[in-house]
Amino acid sequence: MKTAFLGLGSMGLPLARHLLQAGHTVTVYNRTRARADLLKQLDPVIAESPAAAARGAEVLITMVADDAALEAVLLGDQGALPALPRGAIHVSMSTISPALSRRLAERHHAAGQTYVAAPVFGRPEAAEAKQLWIVAAGPPAALERCRPLFDAMGQGTIPAGEDPARANVIKLAGNFLLAAAIEALGEAFALGRKYGIAPAELLDIANGKLFRSPIYENYGKLIAEQRYEPAGFKLRYGLKDVRLALAAADEVAAPLPLASLLRDHYLSAVARGWQEIDWAGLARVAAADAGL
């Protein structure tokens, strides 16, 4: 399938590689050309602009940092949307607001194109190992047409209905739950440390006897070992996602008091200069507040 892929960061690069390895014709674009050059051995077409990448594509995939970055590559100077052919599908795999997802669906419909939201659950190492879960929402025919691409990139696709914004809300709700787990681990470990209980000891009891959760296991180890660099998912993006969840909640008058607490703790981490560490580093705030 003739595919354009925009955004070759820590998530996008392995996904584009999987598509090329599966035999798809892929044109790639990244704001920093050096990232695209990392795929040269797989012989992609490297475009000089989002518009150049989108021309002639059957499917356009975007994996960028946030709402502003997505609007820039689609609607900015040399943006992809005007260059994308009628009948093509745009698959947005970024974690963005449901509000932007709705606007993009409208813009693509007006241009004779189809929009699919397909955010993912998983860190960069999961992307490398094809272990991502893809949450996909959009017209059924478009989802079916994209299935070979989804199968090449992840371990499974979770259908989320015909309204693309549903996939974005599921993604934000999931990331809110992950952030809440990180906060709980950080506070519990801080309490244990004040009484001389090692985080690894407490984690072994909590995850071995109480929860048996891969989330507690993976993030618990990062926090117990204070292994926050290099960042798999930067703390500043955790703050971004919590803000998106709060904005989505505001739209429908759904109070999220815990999300408000998480936002404030992420802001506290940013104020301490920790925005570039892994978002599991939120636990540092609980430790610092406890004098550790």
End-to-end CA distance of the chain: 54
pLDDT of residue 24: 97
Q: Residue 85 carries which DSSP code?
A: P
**What is the C-alpha to C-alpha distance for residues 115 and 99, in angstroms, rounded to an integer?**
14
Q: Is 145 exposed, middle or buried (0-12, 13-18, 19+ CB in 10 A)?
A: middle
Q: Is 282 exposed, middle or buried (0-12, 13-18, 19+ CB in 10 A)?
A: buried
151-192 residue pLDDT tens: 999 999 999 999 999 999 999 999 999 999 999 999 999 999
pLDDT of residue 142: 98
Amino acid at 86: R
Q: Per the residue annotation, which of 40, 171, 194, 240 is the catalytic one? A: 171
Please, are residues 99 and 247 in contact by the beta-carbon 8 Å criterion? yes
The yes-or-no answer on residue 171 being catalytic is yes
| Of 225, 195, 187, the residue nearest 217 (C-alpha) | 225
Which domains, from first to last, does the chain contain? 2-162 (3.40.50.720), 168-289 (1.10.1040.10)
204-216 residue pLDDT tens: 999 999 989 999 9
Arithmetic mean of pLDDT, 74-85: 97
**What is the C-alpha to C-alpha distance for residues 94 and 291, in angstroms, rounded to an integer?**
37
pLDDT classification of 40: cutoffs 50, 70, 90: very high
DSSP helix/strand/coil, 55: coil
pLDDT classification of 149: cutoffs 50, 70, 90: very high
